[in-house]
Amino acid sequence: MGAETYHSLKKVITEKFGPSATGIGDEGGFAPPISQPHEALDLLVEAVKKAGYTGKIMFAMDPASSEFFREGLYDLGIKDKVSAKLTKDGLGDLYRGLIEKYPIVLLEDPFAEDDWESWAKFMEMGKGVEGIPEIVGDDLTVTNVERVKEAKEKGACNGLLLKINQIGTISEAIAAYVLPLPSLTLLITC
């Protein structure tokens, strides 16, 4: 399904922007000339539909928000928009709008790694709301026992990405893994 959708996406991008728009980015994904977050999701929805997998493929997003958090604002880097810099609440509103419109089931690092307040507020607003995705801490928790405990105490996320190579030792990764955190979903990667 993934391979077929990938090839379908290449066709969708070519039809919309021409063949030169199917250049590959640093991590192997397409890099079409888009400027709004919803444009990427629109392309994916169309590709999934053309591949025949609507309702069978859901989306996970990793905005890596620490990378664009500056001086208390989230700078989306959108050059054609005056409001490219969003407040913490503004970014939360952007995510909620995308979650309502697209089949997003997982959101990793939606806020900066030390923006605990935004993480907790976003989780609190999602309690009891149907369709809220898994909110996964990666940069937030960095497989660090103390940060995992803090995430749990503050209700900052309901998913944890455990990376052995991130913390540095297997014993530290195991310590993060065995914490009594029943409400956190654990995703393990190497």
- The residues assigned a catalytic role are 27, 163
DSSP-based three-state secondary structure for 108: strand
Q: Using an 8 Å Cβ cutoff, are 133 and 170 in contact? A: no
Q: Using an 8 Å Cβ cutoff, are 137 and 159 in contact? A: yes
Q: Which two tokens stand for residue 24?
A: 């590959």
To the nearest 10°, the Cα dihedral for 41, 88, 187, 182?
Answer: -130
Q: In degrees rounded to 5, what are phi and psi of residue 51?
A: -80, -10
Q: Which two tokens stand for residue 86?
A: 């969003």
Those residues whose C-beta lies under 8 Å from the C-beta of residue 119, and which sit 6 or more positions away, are: 110, 111, 135, 137, 140, 151, 154, 156, 157
Distances (CA, A) of 60 to 15, 105, 122, 171, 174: 25, 6, 17, 29, 26
